[in-house]
């Protein structure tokens, strides 16, 4: 349905306003994404919103596929005045379109920790860092992202903006305690799946990032808050347990999003090296990369 919204107390506006808070996102099973770029990213991922609120002077920008869906009563499009839309937006006066989507929280069973990179975010409280790490995880081919309790909501407005649509393309599991992750990995290994390597990001780690060459193809990369400590995740289940640091000149100047991006890049290089070795493509290029020939 395509309709005009005139009052500020409209039910659609109230819902979008409430979805700015995590409590209501969890209760209602929806989240909001703001801006044409995030809306387009969702459509390119094959994910349609359930409702779109658009500023009245920008209706010509609504994608044709959404207009057709609204005419067929598959979604609702509400046309709002600028003041009404700004009140339901985290961007305030810069708001032009707000889209409501059904919840996309993934399960640990949606991908295999035995293959590729699983990113575990432990109590990373800044939503900008969480969104950036989702974006980096997608860029460097991670299989999925796992967020612990007390990690910022990956589907909150600020995290979605920082992720630039990555959350529409990458499975993200939320509210997963470290113990639950450990039990999940253990259960999969007991069923005969390959054993992953645990890579713990730690400024005091003994292994520099450029020497990352994890054994096997599955990696769990654990990243924590800059002032906190990572959980031990101690268990005999891991194929290898590596504490890794990003070497820096001077003081510790990288935040968790920057450090995590560096580590994801290095892990993607190591993974490509391992793939070439398995295909008989020459000597161990991990050794070449780290100077350990």
Cα 160 to Cα 33, 132, 134, 155, 178, distances in angstroms:
7, 9, 9, 6, 24
Within 10 angstroms of residue 227's Cβ, the number of other Cβ atoms is 7
Instruction: Indicate the Cα dihedral angle 246, 233, 265, 40, nearest 10°.
Output: -130
The CATH number linked to 77 is 3.30.1330.30
Instruction: Indicate the Cα dihedral angle 58, 60, 64, 69, nearest 10°.
Output: 60
Cα 278 to Cα 54, 140, 215, 283, distances in angstroms:
52, 20, 13, 10
Q: Final residue of a domain: which of 102, 122, 142?
A: 102
Domains in the chain: how many in total?
2
**Token pair of 89 as six digits:** 């937006």
Domain enclosing residue 63, as ranges: 2-102
Give the contacts of 124 (CB within 8 A, at least 6 positions apart): 130, 133, 147, 151, 152, 223, 224, 225, 256
**Token pair of 25 as six digits:** 């996102």
Give the pLDDT score at 263.
95
Give the pLDDT score at 273.
57
Q: Are residues 13 and 158 in the same domain?
A: no
Q: Final residue of a domain: which of 50, 75, 102?
A: 102
Give the pLDDT score at 276.
46
Q: Are residues 49 and 124 in the same domain?
A: no
State pTM to two decimals.
0.89
Q: How far apart are CA 101 and CA 104, in angstroms?
A: 8
Q: Are residues 96 and 238 in the same domain?
A: no
Give the pLDDT score at 279.
46
In DSSP terms, 76 is beta-bridged to 51
Give the pLDDT score at 90.
83
Q: Are residues 20 and 119 in the same domain?
A: no
Query: Which residue carries 């990956």 as its tokens?
Result: 154
Q: Are residues 11 and 53 in the same domain?
A: yes
Q: Are residues 124 and 260 in the same domain?
A: yes
Q: Are residues 214 and 83 in the same domain?
A: no
The CATH number linked to 121 is 3.40.1280.10
**Token pair of 114 as six digits:** 């035995």
Query: Which residue carries 């349609």 as its tokens?
Result: 48
Q: Are residues 226 and 94 in the same domain?
A: no
Q: What is the pLDDT along the chain (293 residues), one digit of tens a residue?
A: 678 887 777 889 999 999 999 999 999 999 999 999 999 999 999 999 999 999 999 999 999 999 999 889 899 999 998 888 888 888 766 779 999 999 988 999 999 999 899 999 999 999 999 999 999 999 999 999 999 999 999 999 999 999 999 999 999 999 999 999 999 999 999 999 999 999 999 888 888 888 888 877 799 999 997 666 777 687 778 888 899 989 888 766 789 999 999 999 999 988 765 544 444 554 455 555 555 54
Q: Are residues 86 and 112 in the same domain?
A: no
Give the pLDDT score at 52.
95
Give the pLDDT score at 160.
95
Q: Are residues 115 and 250 in the same domain?
A: yes
**Token pair of 255 as six digits:** 């935040």
Q: Final residue of a domain: which of 78, 102, 126?
A: 102
Within 10 angstroms of residue 208's Cβ, the number of other Cβ atoms is 13
Within 10 angstroms of residue 18's Cβ, the number of other Cβ atoms is 16
Q: Are residues 199 and 182 in the same domain?
A: yes
Give the pLDDT score at 206.
85
Q: Are residues 78 and 166 in the same domain?
A: no
């Amino acid at each position: 349905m395509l309709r005009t919204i005139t009052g500020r107390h409209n039910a659609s506006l109230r819902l979008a306003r409430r979805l700015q808070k995590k409590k209501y996102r969890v209760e209602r099973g929806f989240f909001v994404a703001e801006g044409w770029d995030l809306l387009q990213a969702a459509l390119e991922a094959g994910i349609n919103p359930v409702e779109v609120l658009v500023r009245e002077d920008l209706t010509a920008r609504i994608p044709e596929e959404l207009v057709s869906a609204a005419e067929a009563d598959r979604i609702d499009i509400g046309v709002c005045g600028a003041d009404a839309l700004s009140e339901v937006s985290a961007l305030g006066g810069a708001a032009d379109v707000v889209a409501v989507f059904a919840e996309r929280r993934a399960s640990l069973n949606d991908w295999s920790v035995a293959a590729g990179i699983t990113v575990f975010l432990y109590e990373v409280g800044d939503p900008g860092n969480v969104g950036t790490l989702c974006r980096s995880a997608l860029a460097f081919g991670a299989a999925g992202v796992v967020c612990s309790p007390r990690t910022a909501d990956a589907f909150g407005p600020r995290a979605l903006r920082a992720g630039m649509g990555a959350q529409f393309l990458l499975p993200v599991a939320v509210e997963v305690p470290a113990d639950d992750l450990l039990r999940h990995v253990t259960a999969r290994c007991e069923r005969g799946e390959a054993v992953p390597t645990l890579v713990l990001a730690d400024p005091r780690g003994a292994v520099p990032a450029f020497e990352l060459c994890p054994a096997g193809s599955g990696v769990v990369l654990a990243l924590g808050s800059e002032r906190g400590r990572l959980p031990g995740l101690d268990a005999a289940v891991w194929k290898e347990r590596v504490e890794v640091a990003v070497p820096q000149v001077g003081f510790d100047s990288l935040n968790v999003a920057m450090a995590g991006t560096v580590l994801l890049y290095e892990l993607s290089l190591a993974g490509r090296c391992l793939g070439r070795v398995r295909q008989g493509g020459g000597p161990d290029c991990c050794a070449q990369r780290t100077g350990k020939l």
